[in-house]
Amino acid sequence: MGTQRKDSLPELLQKMDAVDLRNPDLYINRELSQLEFNWRVLAQAKDDTTPLLERLRFLCISSTNMDEFFEIRVAGIMQTLDLAPVQPGPDGKLPAEILKAISARAHELVAEQYRVLNDALIPQLAETGIRFIRRNEWSDAQEKWMRGYFEKEVLPMLSPLGIDPAHPFPRILNKSLNFIITLKGKDAFGRSSNLAVVQAPRALPRIIPLPPQESSSGPHDFVFLSSIIHHYMADLFPGMKVTGSYQFRVTRNSDLFVDTEEVQDLLRAVQGELQERRFGDTVRLEVVDDCPEDVIKYLLSQFELGADDVYKVNGPVNLNRLIGIYDMVERNDLKFLPFTPSVPAAFAKTGDMFEVLRKHDVLMHHPFESFAPVIEFLRQAANDSHVLAVKQTLYRTAPDSAIVDHLVSAARSGKEVTVVIELRARFDEAANIALANRLQEAGAHVVYGVVGFKTHAKMILVVRREGKQLCHYVHLGTGNYHPRTARLYTDYGLLTGNKEIGDDVHKVFLQLTSLGRVAKLQKLLQSPFTLHDGLIDKIRRETKFAEQGKPARIIAKMNSLVEPQIIQALYAASVAGVTIDLIVRGTCSLRPGIPGVSDRIRVVSIVGRFLEHTRACYFHNGGEPEVYCASADWMGRNFFRRVEVGFPIEVKALKDRITKDLELFLQDNTQAWSLRSDGVYERKMAQGDEPLVMAQTTLLRELASS
């Protein structure tokens, strides 16, 4: 399979009595591990047991992931090449070495993406009546309709740009669709330039449905915008001969840079950087595979890229745009079965959420359970005359979110509303600026957290007067306050009236909005202060239990595991005899299964219908288990450069429920991948008559209704 690629592991490590836990051979490179995750996503597009349109969606997701990988991770490595000598990471690899390895593996992945598209998905979609009509297949009726569409909708939007001394090569927008044209002949001014560039406006749809009545097409026939522009390209250069027309696309560095020491107004600084993102340094060139080598070399020279940075593709240069088919085709037989998220039973008995939370905590597991109670929590807070204040962090949410509506309503009704908006939530910066303006206009207090530390914690605090005292009601989550992603991502959310947790959340909000020393928290672990050390202390506690010959176990689920000190603590725990099960969806720098080092550590990755996003961990703790959920992955940025919270699950029934969930994911033998010590992921398969276990399907069956 695509994931079968080995990293060398010296035999020396298997013979060492005392292992240096900082040895680079004990660590998998972060970027290469992240790249392997995209192979596991692509595997879903190749899985015949997955509905066909869902397979197309997984192909698009793998392409979108690759865009972000180049925009952020590859761009960051390229930047380091221009700096002074750089210290290698825990894996010992230097930037140039990493880029070389990325290029080799990424080229393999891109080739496989287009093979899956051309050899599997397009033919199978055609068998179901969903067709992409190529130019050489157009009927007379289709060509007539296409001609009219081009002249009415496309041609007025195009501005071909000839390349000559008076017209230098144009600036190309990040990830935009472009064509480089080779020409012969002279124009009306006697110019004989042989190159031109045509940029496809972003306002034009990239996939166009053909109307059956007007074009004699089937109900689900589509044509690519690129095909239409290609076919009528000669119309843009009258009197000249078009000898070649080739799609290309560039990817640029999209990470925002804000000098936190110099910035005076974070909002203005982020707004300014957003304008530059579209034209950041180039990091990748995608071009159709029939483009001549001399034209490719010309493009590489214009973008200051090398031969390793060009990706020749057999199809549209932007696979992401195919995702539009999923929404345009209403074929439930080609999609996952729909389901209705359930509502926790506690809220079904009474409509008063504060009454419920005075009695007990409520745990929700999205998307199997509805996100609606979180929205209802805010709605009731906005409308309740006893509620005096509402505070919330917003990292990502929908532009038309009901959550924002209720915050606006609360502010307009005279309540004290404070919202901490993270302006630097990657790729959501513009949306968050608009949200900030809307909330401020309604009278809410809007702050942007702490300069230099992203506010990634997911918290709502409601202050309610009950008799002679003020009570705190809290929501804490592992995911964002985004109703749409709550249907696609798995996350835990805790609603509680616990006084100590409420007091802790209040103290964290004071840190975010005011000034002062770090306040001691009773229940929460918080980055950048106590979360990292707190987790290491708990790992070391399990280590001591194992050294004493007592049962010791750790189960942890997260999106990424790369922080070296945490990994070293886990290695030491494994050496001492702790059984460690890690469920890491994406990037994992830890090598499991190394004799004498990590042979008690197991790492699995779950890739399925929903994006696994829950962060939860279990510590056996001498028979008195502790369970924590958190907004943070186990990465340096989350521990030291962000504001995060880890929160305990203290009610036994809820603690047991999360532990059961974790055990279920470890039993998955359908959508789980096991990480080997050499860095290879192998898909877990049921053996013999072993029953099939699919964790997400089991949770859907137990918690949701179809």
Residues with a catalytic annotation lie at 456
Pairing of strands 611-612, 601-606: unpaired
And the tokens for 242?
């078009």
Closest CA to 582 of 561, 610, 609, 607: 561
Residue that the structure tokens 């067709």 belong to? 131
Of residues 287, 195, 189, the one with CA closest to residue 244? 195
Closest-CA residue to 471 (of 354, 384, 380, 362): 354
Do 204 and 321 meet the contact criterion of CB atoms below 8 Å apart? no
DSSP 152: I
Q: CA 615 to CA 631: how far, in whole Å?
A: 7
Token pair belonging to 204? 């034009």
Cβ contact 552:543 at 8 Å: yes
| Helix or strand (DSSP H, E) at 508 | helix 499-513
The Cα-based distances of 28 to 140, 427, 680 in angstroms read 56, 27, 10
Q: How far apart are CA 494 and CA 505, in angstroms?
A: 13
CA 642 – CA 452 distance, rounded (Å):
8
Q: How far apart are CA 490 and CA 665, in angstroms?
A: 12
The length of the chain, given as a count of residues: 706
- What is the DSSP pairing of strand 387-394 with strand 416-421? parallel
Decide if 37 contacts 596 (C-beta within 8 A): no
What DSSP string describes 394-462? ESS--TT-HHHHHHHHHHHTT-EEEEEE-TTSTT-HHHHHHHHHHHHHTT-EEE--BTTBEE---EEEE
Count of other CB atoms within 10 angstroms of residue 400:
8
Token pair for 132: 């992409």
Give the DSSP letter of residue 308.
G
Helices 429-441 & 402-412 angle (0-180, nearest 10): 20
Residue 99 corresponds to which tokens in the numbers above?
Answer: 């880029």
The answer for residues whose C-beta is within 8 angstroms of residue 588's C-beta and 6 or more apart is 28, 33, 560, 561, 562, 582, 603, 605, 675
H/E stretch holding 549: none
348 phi/psi in degrees, rounded to 5: -75, -20
Q: Distance (Å, rounded) from C-alpha 320 to C-alpha 325?
A: 11
Residue 404, CB-side half-sphere exposure with 13 Å CA sphere: 24
Please give the Cα distance from 347 to 373 (Å, whole number).
8
3-state per-residue secondary structure call for 357-388: HHHCCEEEEECCECCHHHHHHHHHHHHCCCEE
- Tell me if 479 sits within 8 A of 486, measured CB to CB: yes
Nearest to 370 by CA among 496, 208, 487: 487
260/241 Cα distance (integer angstroms): 53
Chain position carrying tokens 């992955």: 633
Phi, psi torsion values for 279, nearest 5 degrees: -130, 35
> What are the residues facing 490 on neighbouring strands?
612
State whether residue 317 is helix, strand or coil. coil
